[in-house]
Structure formats: structure tokens, C-alpha cells
A = this chain, B = another copy of it.
């Protein structure tokens, strides 16, 4: 594409490097920004720079945080004996939105993926092991819930963590796989349907 100005070409190229935004959308966004007040552009760019330069991660669960320990880790209303292991912050937010979980989290920062060159040492797995084995005696970890995506990488990561925690005596569980609420049996794939039968729940 031929751009009428170097400035717009630069901006489009930069915006198009964001995931899920192509050159056409980037041009639309750049032309939108051109029409905005200068202050609005600065409030956007300031927010992005502050985000990147001032962000903290919780020293315990590695979630994004405003202080040394995140709000969840430093809350005394949360059950300190359960740790839910997730891939990233979005998963924490998604689970928090359900209001069904009251334990702590551990954010891995990704999953094991040999193709992308991500091994266990690139993730926060070592600190999870330490959290479990090194828990104080009056506040032991009783359960580790693995809430990873049901992909090959997620399963590999879950298997790796399971092996590492095998000797800890801590209960290890994974979130249930099955038919989504409101989903139709007819349209469920075979693997999901199969898992929903294997993992069936008895009426109490």
C-alpha cells in the first residue's frame, strides 16, 4: 500500500504489530487517532508507557499487582491452603469473575511449548514447587488445582507439575472437562463428550 505520509506509514506499521490487528484496521485506527485531541493521544500513550514501566508482579503468585503482594495473596479472607495454577492473568480474572473460588492462585506465565522454545525453567514452576513443599507447618497447602487449557501444551505442563508434586502428599486436581452449560450434546465434540461421561457426577 502507498501511504500519503511517512508518519502515517510508521504509525500503521507500529499498530499492525499488535496481535489480531492487520494493516487495514491499523490504518483505520491511525486515521481515528488523527482526529482526536492531542491530550487524548497523550493519555493513551502515557497509560501504555506507565503500564510497561511501572507494573509489578506479586512476589508470591506472580500475578500482576500494584504492590509486592497482590490483593488476593494479601487478603485474609482467602483460603490459603488451596492454590489454583493458571497460565496468565486473564485466567485469574476469568475465575475471579465466577465467584466460585476462594483460594489463592499461581500464575505460570505460559505453558511448556518446545516449538516456541518455552521449557519449565521459563515458567514460574520452580516457585510453585517451593510454595507447596516450603509451606509453613501451621498453614500447609492441601490442594493444587491445575486450571490449564486442554491443549497438548497445557496437558504437558499439567503432567510435568503433577510429577514434581507427586511426593508432596498434596491433593492435585484439574478443572472438569465436559459439556458447557447451555451447550447441546449434539454439537459437542467426541473427546469432550467422552470426558463428560468418564467424569460424570453422582446426584447427592
Interface residues of A (CB under 8 A from B): 1-8, 10-11, 13-15, 17-20, 25, 27-34, 36, 38, 40-45, 47-56, 63-66, 70-72, 88-90, 92-93, 96-97
Contacts and interface: CB of A to CB of B under 8 A. Distances in A.
B27 A90 contact: yes
Given A14-B44, A19-B29, A32-B18, A93 B51 contact: no
A99 B30 CA distance: 24
Interface residues of A: mostly helix, strand, loop or mixed?
helix
Copies in the complex: 2
Contacts of A47: 7, 10-11, 13-15
Contact of A93 (B4, B7, B40): B4
A74 to B, nearest CB: 12
A66 B14 contact: no
A123 to B, nearest CB: 13
Nearest to A27: B90
Contacts of A71: 4
A65 B38 CA distance: 19
The 3 closest A-B pairs by CB, nearest first: A45-B45, A11-B51, A14-B47
